[in-house]
Chains A and B, each alone.
Chain A
Amino acid sequence: AQKVTQAQTEISVVEKEDVTLDCVYETRDTTYYLFWYKQPPSGELVFLIRRNSFDEQNEISGRYSWNFQKSTSSFNFTITASQVVDSAVYFCALSPGNTPLVFGKGTRLSVIA
């Protein structure tokens, strides 16, 4: 079965703090893709990153970084020096083989000024 678990339902941080959003996935496929999407209050999901299962290199994009560890089936997302504009619901998703995205339930991040 394919499954994505985002154990943190809600997180609240003060602006400029670092925050890590956890994502654990389950799949029996050896080829799969992992995604993170951001859903701001406007409702439209915004693509952040896609990684394939053969590329475990961590990635950094500005204040965002991602840590992919196959050994623990995790694909965690860290925001450094958080800002109020980072407040949103963040979804981790899995696309195993050739199947549609399976989403986690999301983590609501609130960044307080």
Chain B
Amino acid sequence: GAGVSQSPSNKVTEKGKDVELRCDPISGHTALYWYRQSLGQGLEFLIYFQGNSAPDKSGLPSDRFSAERTGGSVSTLTIQRTQQEDSAVYLCASSIGTLNTEAFFGQGTRLTVV
């Protein structure tokens, strides 16, 4: 596609359930990032994938959070046993090169845990 695509755009889930958020990056982009944006807060880094290298998971807030990137393309962010504090907009971005290059963001998935 022309841009970074995220699905679903909105997700409401019950506390304790698992959720999967999907990101389809721009074709040819080797780098992929997940960020979280909570109300009134900036963007919080979660995880970074670059090519076939081991991902940088340093931003994941707990072991309930995990992410995969299959075939160097699509990525899935999984949150297990969701809590109300997980409610936020989850943003995915991709870039053609290293960390310092321009990142293109998707429109995000708004997650609401009730």
Q: Which residues of A contact B (CB under 8 A)?
A: 4, 33, 35, 37, 42-47, 50, 52, 91, 93, 95, 98-106
Contacts and interface: CB of A to CB of B under 8 A. Distances in A.
13 contacts: A42-B107, A44-B3, A45-B91, A45-B93, A46-B105, A95-B99, A100-B48, A101-B45, A101-B103, A102-B45, A103-B35, A104-B42, A105-B40
A99 B42 contact: no
Contact of B42 (A43, A46, A95, A105): A105
Q: Which bucket holds chain B's interface residue count?
A: 20 to 34
B108 interface: yes
B25 interface: no
A91 B105 contact: no
A47 B102 contact: yes
A100 B99 contact: yes
Interface of B: 3, 33, 35, 40-43, 45, 48, 56, 59, 89, 91, 93, 98-108
Contacts of A105: 40-42
A93 to B, nearest CB: 8
Nearest to A50: B102
B41 to A, nearest CB: 6
A44 B43 contact: no
Given A44-B106, A45-B91, A45-B105, A106 B42 contact: yes
